[in-house]
Amino acid sequence: MNFQNITGRLQAFRNRRLSHRRLVLVLSICTGLLAGIAAVILKNAVHYLGVFLTGEISFLRFNFLILLYPLIGIIIVYLLTRYWFKQDIRHGISRILLAISQHRGKLGLRDTVNSMAGSTLTIGFGGSVGLEAPIVLSGSAIGSSLGQLFRLEYKYIVLLIGCGAAGAIAGIFKAPIAGVVFALEVLMLDLTMASLIPLLISAITGATLAALLMGKEVLFSITLTESYRFTEIPYFIVLGVMAGFISLYFSRANHWIEGLFSRTGTPLKRAVAGGLILSILVFLFPPLFGEGYLWLADLLRGQGDKLLSGSLFQDVLPGSWTFLLILFVIVLLKVVAMSVTTGAGGVGGVFAPTLFVGGMTGFFFAGVVNLTRLGNLSEKNFSLVGMAGLMAGVMHAPLTAIFLIAEMTDGYELLIPLMITATIAYLTINYFEPHSVYAKRLAEAGKLISRNRDKAVLSQLRIDNLIETNFNTVNIRGYLGDLVKEVAKSQRNVFPVVDKENNFQGVVFINDVREILFKPELYGRVLISDLMYMPDPVVQLGESMEEVARKFHDTENYNLPVLDHGKYVGFVSRANVFSAYREMIRESSEE
């Protein structure tokens, strides 16, 4: 039995037994389960690979291994990308956004396998990126594949993509509310009751399964030991501003370094150069190895001496000015190490680096205040709030940041500081950078789905699908008699004029020549070149529908010619664009 027979039988069963809504609820459970399993598999794979490679070795004592591991990992991923993956899988969240905005939500199971394999090798060998984006991509690809398997409409496929993302985030951090908010805030899904219930089901399913398989502390869990004081609120405000500017550095540096790598040399040269740079950084500053959660957890537990253990700075005392200076250098270099990893071809996301940088920033800020005796702040609390601040700034997701940290700490004692710092950090970076680190490149390429309803719908339409080709062409060297012959065969009132190479020269509008159509004495005397005119504007093949809609809006034209590098392709009509727009509105709207 082939795949088409299987999908046909599933479709028939669904039509007999399940409505769209019920089917989506069932698939949301399946998506949550599979996303949770993917999170467990990937987390364990990276953990055990890291244990196998490093064990209990000292970074300084076995420096030749540490200098080799990141380089080996990136080169292996390069070889896999070239000969097996054969696609760029570095930016998982950006791929999801691109699929939603440009490819009608279509992601394949191949994305799951490739993302998991690439990220395991990258991070296990010391790549300074996070697992969350690959896991989210895997969960979203699972949801998309299930939606395609049952031949669901676009709006349901996108909803299942959100379910996969929610289940993945919930499974990683045992934070179902944060998972749901992430899907709504980062993937920009519409917030309705019809979408909220499947997201909740998937998030709860993913979190429960991951907790059952991996225990209570799924990935990174911290227990609060003290609450905040009301007098500390001004410090949380200042931390918010600081987190906003660190987020700006994070976003701009990442964009610049990755762009530099993309413009430099061949992929193999980039892999070797990036691997060598990363190896040196990891050797000098061990916390840059991998995701960095273990070192961050040690810092929050008051074991700051472990942060530099086995490094060139292992004799520096925690709590000293030198220690804080090194901490700030690590904050800056973590962004460099992350960007070098992905720029060189490694697979991973910015989620973990964002939390790492945020935690270190909050600890640094509290340490400076305490050393200068301007206050007596809880370094642990400020680290947690700093994590929310960086997430709000880098990802432009303040609500996700607030709920994630609140759920990670098993309580809402820090809710007000989280809200203050996350909001201020978001407002600070938003003044300079309107797009998140995920959306920046897509926005520059004009491929980002918009929160504006009209723009979001128009981004789904393709000019290729709306071109009408039943317009009879006439040659520019022809005469009025040649035009009359085409008029007799055509039902359209516009005639494109082309040369023998099909280069577009203009159009003849029937109303402009109606008076001479029935004068045979002119058929061999009046040239078509004397009857035509060049319409303005024209549409280029591949042009965005938002731009096409603007051209219709700015003119009174009912039809616009479509050209491909000067060659005539067809016409796009105002009526067809409007009809397609209304149909897309219907498909993307909730019932």
At residue 332 the predicted structure's pLDDT band, cuts being 50, 70 and 90, is: very high
SS3 readout for 102-126: HCCCCCCHHHHHHHHHHHHHHHHCC
Phi, psi (deg, nearest 5) at residue 562: -110, 125
Structure-model confidence comparison of residues 412 and 59, the more confident one: 412
How high is the pLDDT of residue 591? Answer: 46
Are the C-beta atoms of 168 and 205 separated by less than 8 Å? no
How high is the pLDDT of residue 341? Answer: 92
Mean pLDDT (whole number) for 568-575: 87
How high is the pLDDT of residue 18? Answer: 63
Distances (CA, A) of 82 to 75, 77, 99: 11, 9, 22
Instruction: Point out the least confidently predicted range of 224-238, 560-574, 577-591.
Output: 577-591
Mean pLDDT (whole number) for 154-162: 86
Are the C-beta atoms of 288 and 333 separated by less than 8 Å? yes
Distances (CA, A) of 185 to 180, 182, 196, 246, 473: 9, 5, 12, 21, 49
Quote the strand ranges of 286-420, DSSP E. Answer: none
Contacts of 440 (CB under 8 A, 6+ apart): 251, 255, 433
Mean pLDDT (whole number) for 567-571: 90
Instruction: Point out the least confidently predicted range of 28-37, 63-72, 183-192, 214-223.
Output: 214-223
Assess whether pLDDT exceeds 90 at residue 554.
no
How high is the pLDDT of residue 409? Answer: 81
Assess whether pLDDT exceeds 70 at residue 232.
yes
For the stretch 364-390, pLDDT in tens is 999 999 999 888 898 889 999 999 999
Highest mean pLDDT among 220-224, 264-268, 397-401: 397-401
Mean pLDDT (whole number) for 37-65: 71
97 φ/ψ sector (left φ>0, alpha ψ -120 to 50, else beta)? alpha
Mean pLDDT (whole number) for 201-222: 76
At residue 549 the predicted structure's pLDDT band, cuts being 50, 70 and 90, is: confident
For the stretch 516-542, pLDDT in tens is 888 888 888 888 888 888 888 888 887
Question: Which run of H or E residues covers position 563?
Answer: strand 559-564
**What domains, with CATH codes, occur in the chain?**
3-214 (1.10.3080.10), 230-452 (1.10.3080.10), 456-588 (3.10.580.10)
At residue 55 the predicted structure's pLDDT band, cuts being 50, 70 and 90, is: low
For the stretch 73-119, pLDDT in tens is 888 888 888 877 766 666 667 778 777 777 777 887 777 777 788 88
